Structures are given as structure tokens and as C-alpha cells.
């Protein structure tokens, strides 16, 4: 089976491990370790290290690519590149799930498709590369698979503020329910519609946002609620 053949993964990422044990540890979920007679190490410590290595390497790459940008923008760009949704997409592009070593319970519950398991494993792989080949091996992998090839070209996406995520994090910190978004109006011709979205958050905070698509309208509504909460929403920081 593919998950028992790490050679396929090494071929996929273009790196041959000198110490294969590092890679095996990165691919080993705790459920597998607990069920195995030889009790191999699981990938939790590798995940911890990989998170730090990834953050450091991405920070260096962003600072090199955008020497004129302020800390706030660089922080937002890094947050985008190390966020779970982005890493989950990277893990899927590598078919990482098929190489994981999982216990029987995780197999039955489709563990190979679970975003959290895949993101953790990807971070663990970064750590395995660092352990085996140093920072150069980790950086090559990150540059090839995680960071856009044309960083300058991706600037607008990387530095944009995700108001919905910012609001969600704020509400979570305050132990409030997630914000709810509802399209309340659609106007204009089919090819050039304007959407109006109403957002409800916290203690009956309501705001309406408009945009050329639902996503843009939701972002605007979230931005307005953040302003009502007294949170700054400047694009440049």
C-alpha cells in the first residue's frame, strides 16, 4: 500500500532522506503509534518543530521579497501562508493522506481526509526535512510547495485583510457564537450583480455590506462590525 511505501512520497517531493526514520515519524499519527507493538514515535513533536520552522522560513522569504513593507502587512501575509486552509490545500496537492500511518479507528473515520491530520502531518514533514537536511532542505520544500513561486505577483492576495476571519477570532476569544451572514438583496443585471449581505454577531450587532459577489459583501459586513467594535481595519499596518 502507498502509505507503507515512503519512497513514493520522497519521489513526489524530490527529496531523498538520509535517515528515513525522520520521515516515518512525520507520517505517524498517534493512533498508529498506540496500536503498534513497537510503539514508534508519533508526529506530535515533529508538528511542533515544523510549525516553528515554517513560520521562520516564510518570514525570511517575505522580508526578502518585500523589504519596503511594514510589519503588519508581513504578519498578515505570513498568517495567510501558514494558515490551516492553505496548508490543507498543499497537503491535498501532495496526496499526503495516502502516506499517513493511522490506527484502525482513524482509518474507519476517514482520517486520511481530515484537515487537521493533514495539516499537522505537513508541518511534521517540514520538521523531518529540517532534521534530515537542515534549513536548506526545509526551505526548498517550502519554496516549492507552500509559498507562491511569484511572491511579488501574489502581493495583493497575501496582504489583504480577511475581515471575516478576524471577526471570527475575536468572537471566539470572547466566547461568543460565530457570526452569521445572510444575503438580503441582489440587484443589477445578471452579469453585474450587486449583493447585499447582513451580518449578525455578538450581542445583536448587525451590519450590512455590499459587493460584486457574496464573498466581497460578507467581508464588507464583517469589516463594518469590526469598526462598531472599535477594531482598526486599515489595509496597511
pTM: 0.70
Give the model's pLDDT for residue 11: 95
Given a contact cutoff of 8 angstroms between Cβ atoms, the answer to whether 33 and 42 are in contact is yes
User: Which tens digit of pLDDT belongs to each residue from 108-164?
Assistant: 888 898 888 999 999 999 999 999 999 999 999 999 999 998 887 888 777 776 788
User: Which tens digit of pLDDT belongs to each residue from 82-109?
Assistant: 988 788 889 999 999 999 999 998 888 8
Give the model's pLDDT for residue 231: 58
> Kind and range of the H or E element at 210?
strand 205-211
Phi-psi region of 224 (alpha: psi -120 to 50; beta: other; left: phi over 0): alpha
User: Which tens digit of pLDDT belongs to each residue from 26-65?
Assistant: 999 999 888 887 888 999 999 999 999 999 999 999 999 9
State the average pLDDT over residues 185-196: 87
- Placement of cell 500511518 in the chain: 101
Strand partners, 180: 200
Sorted by where each begins, the domain ranges of the chain are: 2-159, 163-228
Phi-psi region of 148 (alpha: psi -120 to 50; beta: other; left: phi over 0): beta
- For 196, phi then psi, to 5°, come to -115, 125
Q: Is 202 exposed, middle or buried (0-12, 13-18, 19+ CB in 10 A)?
A: middle
3-state secondary structure 36-97: CCCCCCCCHHHHHHHHHHHHHHHHHHHHHHCCCCCHHHHHHHHHHHHCHHHHHHHHHHCCHH
Q: 4 pLDDT band (50/70/90 cuts)?
A: low
State the average pLDDT over residues 213-224: 88
Give the model's pLDDT for residue 111: 83
Poorest-confidence range of 74-83, 201-210, 224-233? 224-233
The DSSP 8-state label assigned to residue 142 in this structure reads H
Q: Which residue has the higher pLDDT, 169 or 112?
A: 112
Average pLDDT, rounded, for the chain: 88
Q: Quote the radius of gyration of the chain (alpha carbons, Å).
A: 21
User: Which tens digit of pLDDT belongs to each residue from 173-190?
Assistant: 777 888 999 999 999 887
Separation CA 106–CA 201 (nearest Å): 35
State the average pLDDT over residues 228-236: 56
**Residues labelled catalytic:** 51, 123
What CATH architecture does domain 163-228 belong to?
2-Layer Sandwich (3.30)
Q: What is the CATH number of domain 2-159?
A: 1.10.1520.10
User: How far is CA 157 from each of CA 77, 97, 107, 126, 177, rounded to the nearest angstrom?
Assistant: 8, 27, 36, 24, 28
Amino acid at each position: 500500500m502507498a502509505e507503507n511505501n515512503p519512497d513514493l512520497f520522497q519521489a513526489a517531493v524530490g527529496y531523498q532522506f538520509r535517515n528515513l526514520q525522520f520521515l516515518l515519524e512525520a507520517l505517524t499519527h498517534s493512533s498508529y503509534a498506540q496500536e503498534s507493538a513497537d510503539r514508534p514515535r508519533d508526529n506530535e513533536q515533529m508538528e511542533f518543530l515544523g510549525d516553528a520552522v515554517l513560520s521562520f522560513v516564510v518570514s525570511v522569504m517575505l522580508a526578502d521579497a518585500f523589504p519596503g513593507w511594514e510589519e503588519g502587512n508581513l504578519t498578515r501575509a505570513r498568517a495567510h501562508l501558514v494558515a490551516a486552509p492553505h496548508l490543507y490545500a498543499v497537503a491535498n496537492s501532495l496526496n499526503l493522506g495516502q502516506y499517513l500511518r493511522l490506527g484502525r479507528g482513524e482509518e474507519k473515520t476517514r482520517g486520511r481526509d481530515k484537515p487537521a491530520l493533514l495539516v499537522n502531518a505537513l508541518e511534521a514533514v517540514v520538521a523531518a526535512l529540517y532534521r534530515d537536511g537542515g534549513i536548506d532542505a526545509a526551505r526548498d520544500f517550502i519554496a516549492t510547495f507552500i509559498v507562491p513561486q511569484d511572491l511579488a505577483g501574489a502581493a495583493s492576495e497575501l496582504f489583504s485583510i480577511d475581515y471575516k476571519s478576524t471577526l471570527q477570532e475575536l468572537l471566539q476569544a470572547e466566547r461568543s457564537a460565530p457570526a452569521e451572514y445572510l444575503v438580503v438583496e441582489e440587484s443589477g443585471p445578471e452579469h453585474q450583480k450587486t449583493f447585499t449581505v447582513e451580518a449578525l454577531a455578538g450581542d445583536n450587532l448587525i451590519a450590512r455590506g455590499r459587493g460584486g459577489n457574496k464573498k466581497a459583501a460578507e467581508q464588507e459586513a464583517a469589516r463594518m462590525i469590526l469598526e462598531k467594535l472599535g477594531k482598526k481595519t486599515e489595509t496597511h499596518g
